Structure 1
Amino acid sequence: MTSHETRSADAKETSMSTGSGPLQGVRVVDISSSYAAPTTSMYLADMGADVIKIEPLGGDDARGWGPPFLNGEAAWFLSVNRNKRSMCLDIRGEEGRKVLFQLLESADVFIENLNPVKLDKHGLGLDGLRERFPQLVICAFSGFGLTGPDAGLPGYDLIAQARSGMMSVTGVDGVPQRVSTALSDVAAGTVAAFAVAAALVRQQQTGQGEIVDVALLEADLAFMSPRIASFLAGDEEPKPCGGTDSVVAIYQPMRTADRPIVVAIGNDRHWQRSCAALGLDELAQREDLATNADRRANREEVVGAFQERLIALSSNEALKLLQDVGVPCSRINFLSEVVTDPQVEARKAIVDYQHPVAGVFRGVGAPWRLASDPEDRQARIPAPMRGEHGREILTEIGLDEKTISELVGRETLWVP
């Protein structure tokens, strides 16, 4: 066993267990802030990894993203930082980086979201890190990636949605619209968690690390893949039209007597069944509407006929008719309905846990199920208080109380 492996094993053995899971025994050091990269470290933590969240002395930017606040704790921050431990360290100076590098000696994964052109300035150039820690899986987040002419530009969810073309197909009456949630962040964070987990498999097999290069732009391009492929295959350039221009006809919102629903006629069987359920037998018998391509060519007529029938029905009546024959459809839920949806409740998709300051916090749990998961899927530990575990973590890597106090005195470290 090498000296690195000995120090790594010792530090991990003394670390706080965050519970069982496929990644139990994996240590993640995460210096990222905001939402995308913290999504990755949260999902790794949900899988059992020991995640050390290193924040600036003043805390992660997301701690101030509100309202709403729960007794001063931002709901956005709480929603993406469960199952982690926090310490506050100034890594801009040499002394802080020295502590960071001591932590990386015991780490399997390092996550950062610094602007790529500033990595060397902060003493965290990726080539240098790979040479110093060849076993480390390094996950580098940015708006546009580590290479290319715009690698140095700042990136946020809004920017990625705009530049990827996503906003160009979203909205009504030709007006582009952002998807109103942190879509790019969650997408990039999820993709990165998959890539990191894959790199960890090879790390365990070969002892070699990896650089995982994740860009918000490319995560959104993945969402746009079918639209881009259709355009490159000769389809006309789409415009915002309220989701009524799908390659599938019908696949869009429809009005009923009381509220809108969505209908997804994904194949010719759905077409025949929906026509029968809605009393549109004449349409079902027409050869010029037999295939999806036919229905696309006559989209206006098809949608008009369905809309005329549905507007005379309540949403409950329309949904029952279509669901009874196996046609995919749904009401468009408001969030007040989402969080009380019987399926969401049955799957325990909304989890809650007790936070020492915020009280009971409720949020979305991990979007997967493992057969080995406990029935109670609540977070093992709540999102940490700022710097809550600093002394504990530094003790694990061998720093004594005198050294910790000196770091605090020189404003390299902050502890509560």
Structure 2
Amino acid sequence: MYRLLSDLSVIEASSFVASPTAGLYLAQMGAEVIRVDQIGGGPDFRRWPVTAANDSLYWENLNRAKKSVALDLSRPEGRELLQALVQATGQFVTNFPVHGFLSHDTLSAKRADLVTVRVMGWADGSPALDYTVNNAVGYPMMTGTGPEPVNHVLPAWDLLTGAYAAFAMMAALRRRDATGEGGEVRVPLSDVAIGTVANLGGIAEVLAAGENRERLGNTVYGLFGRDFATADGERVMIVVVTPRQWRQLLAALGLTGAVAAIEAERGVNFATDDGERFRHRDALFPLFERAIAARDHATLAPLLDAAGIVHSAYRTMHDAAHDPRLVCDNPIFAPGVANPSGMDYPAAGAFATLPQHDRRPPAPAPRNGQHSEEVLAERLRLPHAEIARLVDAGVVGTS
């Protein structure tokens, strides 16, 4: 079976979420991703969540299927080895600063066709994190009911930036295949965030309206969608996106006549217009609240399923970890992976597959420096005696 990206090798020097995610996605699609860290681990090596032994489950899962080289990057000799690895390989993913020993100009001086993908904070090179960029683009002032801002816990901009950076790497490699030219692709977190806001119509919306969107809590903007409470205290999110779903939801809940009465009273037609359902939610929501509150969840769920309605009860992450559809019977997961932490839990592999793609089981993350000797010998053709000298001198780390 053909393994996607099996002929691609990438050096990764990065930390935290966005840049390691780019490397992870490339590795999951079959690329050889060689992560280079400081001996003993970089700044994210112990990031929470951690085990009782202080092993980072975050690091362990963001770095699956990669190789690890450990160098003392505080010393010139260690930095020179990292530069040499990048130049020997020709593909580089990093979130190190634009300027310095890993600048593209420095690295490409000895490898003109080098492709560098650099994840950044702001486009001008100043630092930023997902949580601060999210504040800058306005989403915490749209979340919740107000007036205080509400941060969400998912690092969405980090994850989008990581995926975009992996995509950018492949685009830059296609360009190099066609022209022979390398180059640096910069992917600022801030541009991914504000660009996504624009792509969703948010910039145009506020400029046209001259004001911010009202805060809606759990109500979906522009659609019929909200959480409702059942008779037994479950909260269920229900979202309608098609005319057929709307008709079938009314029939399932016995609300066809009551909704027709609202349409007649207000001179509107909810059958085909998402916007009208949203605008008149003040009249519609009380009907649905009463109808759903009269049923327990065990009765409601099969009723909605039979009607083809999109719905989901709210669950904890602990619940999700035991859900057969999400984890236990999901083929992206595999148990029994030899994780560096020693913990045995379902490990995620690639999220997407092609029929011709050999779906490999999820691979473990490396130990810090696990592949140092192997990579230095293969990539830089260093003799074993020289590698031993570097290890003894503390320039190279091994596991």
TM-score by length of 2: 0.88
Query: 1:402 Cα shift?
Result: 2.7
Structure 1 outlier segments of 4+, above 6 Å: none
Q: Any residues of structure 2 matched to 1:87-102 within 5 Å, and which?
A: 87-102=69-84
- Corresponding residue for residue 120 of structure 2: 142
Query: 1:393 Cα shift?
Result: 0.9
For the pair 1:251 / 2:229, whether they are aligned, the reply is no
Correspondent of 1:306 among 288, 300, 320 = 288
- Corresponding residue for residue 282 of structure 1: 257
Determine if contact 1:84/1:383 at 8 Å carries over to the other structure: yes
- Corresponding residue for residue 273 of structure 1: 248
Question: Partners in 1 of 2:310 and 2:238 — Cα distance?
Answer: 6
- Corresponding residue for residue 278 of structure 2: 296
Question: Partners in 1 of 2:26 and 2:333 — Cα distance?
Answer: 18
Determine if contact 2:3/2:358 at 8 Å carries over to the other structure: no
**What is the DSSP-based 3-state SS (H/G/I as helix, E as strand, rest coil) of the residue aligned with 2:346?**
strand
Determine if contact 2:13/2:37 at 8 Å carries over to the other structure: yes
Determine if contact 1:70/1:358 at 8 Å carries over to the other structure: no
Question: Partners in 2 of 1:162 and 1:89 — Cα distance?
Answer: 36
Q: Any residues of structure 2 matched to 1:5-404 within 5 Å, and which?
A: 21-69=3-51, 71-116=53-98, 119-120=99-100, 123-145=101-123, 147=124, 151-152=125-126, 154-224=127-197, 225-226=199-200, 227-234=202-209, 236-248=211-223, 250-257=224-231, 258-285=233-260, 286=263, 287-290=267-270, 291-344=273-326, 345-352=328-335, 353-374=337-358, 377-379=360-362, 381-396=363-378, 397-404=380-387
Name stretches of at least 5 consecutive residues in structure 2 with no aligned partner: none
Determine if contact 2:27/2:65 at 8 Å carries over to the other structure: yes
TM-score by length of 1: 0.85
Question: Partners in 2 of 1:222 and 1:243 — Cα distance?
Answer: 24
- Aligned residue type for 1:350: F
Instruction: Indicate the RMSD between aligned Cα atoms, in angstroms.
Output: 2.4
- Aligned residue type for 1:371: P
Determine if contact 1:187/1:219 at 8 Å carries over to the other structure: yes
Determine if contact 2:122/2:190 at 8 Å carries over to the other structure: yes
How many residue pairs are counted as aligned between the two chains? 386
Residues 228/346 of structure 1: CA separation in 2 closer, same or farther (3 Å cut): farther
Name stretches of at least 5 consecutive residues in structure 1 with no aligned partner: 1-18
Residues 214/164 of structure 1: CA separation in 2 closer, same or farther (3 Å cut): same
Question: Partners in 1 of 2:235 and 2:185 — Cα distance?
Answer: 42
Question: Partners in 1 of 2:213 and 2:190 — Cα distance?
Answer: 19
- Aligned residue type for 1:403: E
Question: Partners in 1 of 2:182 and 2:381 — Cα distance?
Answer: 24
